[in-house]
Amino acid sequence: MGASMLGLIQNETLKLMRRRRFLVVILILAVLIPIFTYAQFKTVQTAQERLGTSDWRSLLQQRIVDNQNRLASSRMPEEWRQWLKIQIAQQQYYLDHNIDPSAPSGVTFSRGFMDQAVGLFLPMIIVVLAVDLVSSEYSEGTIKLLLTRPVRRWKVLASKYLTLILFVSLTVLSALIMSYVISGVVFGYVGWDMPVLTGFQVVGGELDTSTVFMLPQWQYILLQYGLSWFVCLVVGTITLMVSVLVRTTAAGMGIMMAALISGTILTQMAQSWEQAKYLFNVNLQITDYLAGSLPPIQGMSLPFSLTVLSVWGIVSLIVAFMVFTRRDVTS
């Protein structure tokens, strides 16, 4: 008697696939990534026309010399010296391994793609996946069949959540694979070992470079996609809660899109409204911490954003389970 969790997940997966949700996600990626690739290609082309392509080695050589000269001059704070040394090491590595740092590769493209996608594009895709997970059962009336089986309600919702986690993971993985494979056609499939700088810290509103170190690009990407996966998971969890609370897909979609887009707007104009940093939607640009750009609001850091997102995720999950297991089904 009763159902196994695996059987329930199988059911949810089947429903999600049959509703073509994942197919839509893959199609969106398959259409947009080539467009971004082409845009990137044009940018590179324009840059190369301006600067010329052949002399990147001498340009890099020149920059190393410049940095060394600055290093040699006295009256420089210790952390600046540190920063210059790391930059020189990176540039030297590029030179030694014959890597043109400004030339795009499939791997670099994937990295840049996620930097751009994690704030809005990817969360939107996750919303498409998750928004009608529960609300559609209510609007189509199938909830009546789902909840009159010998399966406890928490187990029904848990199976939906686990299925969501599965598809969030598949989506992030697909984004990586597709951006690498598609852009690689144009830019080549190299660049996994290229060193990338990370480890920036923000101290008192200033970027602190004293803790910066080099990381092979594949490790960087692993870190970056891992963090993005977490962002997507939290957005998915919040969407699941909304899906439990509202009755129609349109309402859920509206709420989530408004939240995501207002987050993007807030990150651009909320410098003076410090409390905004506790909203989940201004904490989505999580890969920026790796790349070392200044956060949109003072007091934000990687651990801070991870904490805010975790709290939102946990609270959403609790609300979703409480409401779903207690609420009467009426029509």
**Interface residue with other proteins, options 14, 47, 65, 173 (CB under 8 A):** 14
Question: Residue 90 CB, nearest distance to other proteins (Å)?
Answer: 53
Query: Coil, helix or strand for 238?
Result: helix
Half-sphere exposure of 47 (CA within 13 A, CB side): 11
Question: Residue 22 CB, nearest distance to other proteins (Å)?
Answer: 14
- Residue 12 · residue 159 · CB < 8 Å: yes
C-alpha to C-alpha distances, 67 to 84, 106, 194, 208, 241, nearest whole angstrom? 6, 29, 20, 18, 52
Question: Residue 245 CB, nearest distance to other proteins (Å)?
Answer: 18
Interface stretch with other proteins, choices 1-9, 22-30, 162-170, 238-246 (CB under 8 A)? 1-9
**Interface residue with other proteins, options 2, 77, 205, 303 (CB under 8 A):** 2
CA angle centred on 177, ends 132 and 126, rounded to 5°: 15
Question: Residue 17 CB, nearest distance to other proteins (Å)?
Answer: 10
- Residue 205 · residue 224 · CB < 8 Å: no
Please report whether residue 19 would count as binding other proteins according to CB under 8 A.
yes
If the CB atoms of residues 84 and 151 are measured against other proteins, the closer one turns out to be 151
Question: Residue 26 CB, nearest distance to other proteins (Å)?
Answer: 18
If the CB atoms of residues 32 and 162 are measured against other proteins, the closer one turns out to be 162
Please report whether residue 129 would count as binding other proteins according to CB under 8 A.
no
Interface stretch with other proteins, choices 35-43, 115-123, 150-158, 315-323 (CB under 8 A)? 150-158
Question: Residue 323 CB, nearest distance to other proteins (Å)?
Answer: 13
- Residue 157 · residue 320 · CB < 8 Å: yes
If the CB atoms of residues 58 and 331 are measured against other proteins, the closer one turns out to be 331
- Residue 285 · residue 210 · CB < 8 Å: no
Q: CA 325, CA 320: separation in Å to the nearest integer?
A: 8
**Interface residue with other proteins, options 77, 150, 205, 303 (CB under 8 A):** 150
Chain-centroid distance of CA 159 in Å reads 24
Q: Which residues contact 94 (CB under 8 A, 6 or more apart)?
A: 60, 100, 101, 194, 195
**Interface residue with other proteins, options 54, 69, 98, 148 (CB under 8 A):** 148
Please report whether residue 50 would count as binding other proteins according to CB under 8 A.
no
- How many residues lie near other proteins (CB under 8 A)? 29
Q: Give residue for tokens 């660049």.
A: 191
Please report whether residue 151 would count as binding other proteins according to CB under 8 A.
yes
Q: Give residue for tokens 């910066």.
A: 212
For the chain, helix (H) and strand (E) counts, in that order, are 13, 4
Closest CA to 135 of 279, 246, 281: 246
Please report whether residue 97 would count as binding other proteins according to CB under 8 A.
no
Question: Residue 23 CB, nearest distance to other proteins (Å)?
Answer: 12
Instruction: Please give the residue ranges that form the binding site for other proteins (CB under 8 A).
Output: 1-4, 7-8, 10-11, 14-15, 18-19, 140-142, 144-152, 326, 328-331
